[in-house]
Amino acid sequence: KNEVEQSPQNLTAQEGEFITINCSYSVGISALHWLQQHPGGGIVSLFMLSSGKKKHGRLIATINIQEKHSSLHITASHPRDSAVYICSGGTSGSRLTFGEGTQLTVNP
Amino acid sequence: NAGVMQNPRHLVRRRGQEARLRCSPMKGHSHVYWYRQLPEEGLKFMVYLQKENIIDESGMPKERFSAEFPKEGPSILRIQQVVRGDSAAYFCASSPAGRSYEQYFGPGTRLTVT
């Protein structure tokens, strides 16, 4: 069992839909990251959070420390949101532990 | 993420050649991490360095791979005698001292071995 698990693995939506990607982790973490990767592209850090909720534009990330669960929401989705979204946990040690990623496709 | 610089962005090497990947951390960051993303796979940790020290290299292949972070200059990931299986995207991240969980990523270097 991976230490960080994401669902769904693949997600297809129509433009304008509300999207949720879930992340569960089994390790103790100091912070949870949501990352975005476009095809052939670099990695963009969307959020780093250790409690509560953060919002940036149409993106919202929440975390429940007790349940070891985080969600990434995208409101009013757009085709340019199509990318791989990666959840990762940062511990007080060194490495980040990554989920397998969620491939999001938003159709016009 | 503009603060973490990696170069080159794309690198093509023939089998048997050496590949050198460079990473300059964000200003004020003293910790560097290297991750590898093989085609169609997720990100995997390789090595964690502080200035002049390798802290954790448990993710590094045992042979042909080495990393350094000198007192001056960028961190270098070096792959000797590259093979086709080394073709991947290599990402560097940096963090402030004492905050390893707060990592910022560079744009990556895409290595292609022909």
B100 closest CB neighbour out of A41, A43, A94: A94
- Residue A56 confidence (pLDDT): 93
Question: Encoding tokens for residue B95?
Answer: 């963090």
Residue type at B58?
Answer: S
Mean pLDDT computed over B44-51: 93
Backbone angles phi, psi at A98, to 5 degrees: -105, 145
Residue whose pair of structure tokens reads 């250790």 in the numeric block: A50
* pLDDT tens-digit map of A40-73: 778 888 998 889 999 999 999 999 988 999 999 9
Contact between chains at B106 and A42 (C-beta distance less than 8 A): yes
Question: Encoding tokens for residue B3?
Answer: 């603060």
Measure the CA–CA gap between A59 and A53, rounded to whole angstroms: 11
A93 closest CB neighbour out of B42, B44, B100: B100
Q: Is the peptide bond before A8 cis (omega within 30 degrees of 0)?
A: yes
**By the 8 A CB rule, do B68 and B60 touch?**
no
Q: How many CB pairs under 8 A join A and B?
A: 66
A42 closest CB neighbour out of B59, B103, B107: B107
The answer to which of A25-39, B23-37, B61-75 has the lowest mean pLDDT is A25-39
